[in-house]
Structure 1
Amino acid sequence: MTALIPRPRAEVAPGAVHVPGWLTADEQRRLLDACREWARSPAGMRQTRLPGGGVMSVRTVCLGWHWVPYRYQRTADDGAPVKPFPAWLADLGRRAVATAYGHDGGYRPDIALVNFYDAEARMGQHQDKDERSLAPVVSLSIGDTCVFRFGNTRDRGRPWSDVQLESGDLFVFGGESRLAYHGVPKTLPGTAPPFLGLRGRLNLTLRESGLSPDGGAV
């Protein structure tokens, strides 16, 4: 579907690139169907408990490596092996990086965190720093629009930029912005494209772990 008012591609910060409407409708449907399968038990979608006892409001399923605060492991919370990271998703990640930067830089993602936001879910400002690799993070949005707050690399305070990420949007951050603080202060319920039949927002973030199969550094 073509937007009434085209949204331009933008470099939000050095190395942080927003490409609106990057995923086609068919690609969004394929990712949604895949996410529904990945969400099933075992090693399915869960709410993550933080070390301080709090529980994240988003629900997450992991591929390739299972994220627990603040590290990765090969088994999910229920003791089942983490679901595999599919080759077709790695290909999509390489294409995303090439779109953002003009080349894929040999990108080899082996982790996906799939987060589901209902109308009340939020994500506080944080850094993606549990990987051994500083290769770019690829973020794909499906479903409801969100406000994505992209900040600086020093702390959770200003300056930051609030970007609306709609269904099908691509956001890549690497280089100088790889360790920028970022989060989702709110979603906009009921804004998902009707063709998806989805209530809520799915966000897939692809990363390079920098880990060997046994968990050591590559």
Structure 2
Amino acid sequence: MRSEPAPGAVLLPGWLEPAAQLQLVAACREWARPPAGLHRVRMPTGGVMSVRMVSLGWHWYPYGYTRVAEDGAPVKPFPELLGELARRAVVEAYGDRAGEIAGATSYAPDTAIVNHYPHGAKMGLHQDRDERVDAPVVSLSLGDDCVFRLGNTETRTRPWTDLELRSGDLLVFGGPTRFAYHGVVRTLPGTADPALGLVGRLNVTVRQSGLSEQG
């Protein structure tokens, strides 16, 4: 059932049908291949993230974007498949209220990050602040369920809301919640549909960077 866990945040459970989930998992496997493939990110503090990720369109690094991937290869192009899904997601999430959400009516996604969460992986609370615009973020879940923490825009501490995201769920956050702290507290191993052939969880986040070739 559709819910709005925070102003500007919309959760649509089961938004992706099983066939579309299979298609997206297959696409993620292709995007994950080297060059410019799946990798672990080392933070400026020296720690290494427990998730593995691959960027599309623009390569994300802490804390910015470039056209060159971690291995020195050109970043893979942003797929039209994700562009179509993300634009439809924003329309269906906000509907007639799109005019109230910054960047929703002119949404033009051009970058995505695919995160793979193996068993035991998590992601600390963070803000998506490396984009030059405040257009909504589109998040799609595949595989294992997870506990997703949606916080506030000021601090990593409470108040926050914990959501259980399942395979096929769509979460869009923009407007007042666009810069909220958020993260994955834990995944729930073994909850994925075996038909997906996926171990762990995949999260595909699509964004509008607001970047030009000149940066």
- Aligned position for 1:211: 211
1:9 to 2, 13, 36: 2
Q: Does 1:184 align with 2:184?
A: yes
Local SS of the residue matching 2:71: coil
1:85 to 78, 81, 86: 78
Give the partner amino acid of 1:38. Answer: W
Structure 1 spans left out of the alignment, 5+ residues:
1-7
1:140 CA displacement: 0.1
Q: Paired residues, what number? A: 208
What is the CA–CA distance in structure 2 between the aligned matches of 1:133 and 1:29, rounded to whole Å?
31
Please show how residues 42-191 of structure 1 align to structure 2 within 5 Å: 42-102=35-95, 103=98, 105-191=105-191
Structure 2 spans left out of the alignment, 5+ residues:
99-103
What is the CA–CA distance in structure 2 between the aligned matches of 1:181 and 1:163, rounded to whole Å?
14
Give the partner amino acid of 2:22. Answer: R
1:26 CA displacement: 1.0
What is the CA–CA distance in structure 2 between the aligned matches of 1:166 and 1:19, rounded to whole Å?
10
TM-score w.r.t. length of structure 1: 0.94
What is the CA–CA distance in structure 2 between the aligned matches of 1:141 and 1:183, rounded to whole Å?
13
1:99 CA displacement: 1.0
What is the CA–CA distance in structure 2 between the aligned matches of 1:53 and 1:87, rounded to whole Å?
35
TM-score w.r.t. length of structure 2: 0.95
Local SS of the residue matching 1:56: strand
Greater fraction strand: 2
Between stretches 179-188 and 194-203, larger displacement belongs to 194-203
- Aligned position for 2:12: 19
What is the CA–CA distance in structure 2 between the aligned matches of 1:123 and 1:88, rounded to whole Å?
26
Same amino acid, percent of matched pairs: 64
What is the CA–CA distance in structure 2 between the aligned matches of 1:141 and 1:99, rounded to whole Å?
17
Q: String of CA shifts for 1:12-39, please: whole Å, max 9, x gaps.
A: 0000011000001111011100000010
1:213 CA displacement: 2.0
Give the partner amino acid of 1:50. Answer: M
